[in-house]
Amino acid sequence: MIRGRRYRRDDGHPRHGESTSATSWANSPPPTAPRLTSVKVRRDLAASVQRILAAAGHPAQATSAPAVAVHPPRLPLHRARISQSAVPLARLTGYLTAPGPVPVQGVAIISQLLADGTGPLYRHGCADNLSDIIENATRALAR
């Protein structure tokens, strides 16, 4: 039997020498390409982009994606940076909701952008260029 690392529920640090538990919350597998590019996940990502645009004051930038309810964001947004990139961000929702398969790399870039609370959508001190990230995602999705 191969012994893995088990993560404590309190702080996430591994315990030395303990086997991996199948029920451990921190030991969940990474998303697979088919799951990440599923229609549901892509719609959810598009809805998240739309919510961010609406919360930043650009609800009209939404494209063909279905309308979503605007909930207050869980993290403070970098509204100025989002405003500068509103049109390309809205264009991403079109790629995400397009019928047919999409390249996993583009979906992964958008997923990471939305999930990273220290990234350029949220943190003022982040040195990452939001426009470059959006351009890379667009290029990946347009293949």
Cβ within 8 Å of residue 78, ≥6 positions away:
120, 121, 122, 123, 124, 126, 130
Which DSSP letter does residue 6 get? E
Q: Which residues of the chain have pLDDT under 70?
A: 1-31, 60-74
Three-state DSSP class for residue 17: coil
Domain chopping of the chain, boundaries:
1-30, 33-141
**Predicted local distance difference test score (pLDDT) of residue 59:** 72
Global pTM value:
0.70
**Predicted local distance difference test score (pLDDT) of residue 30:** 56
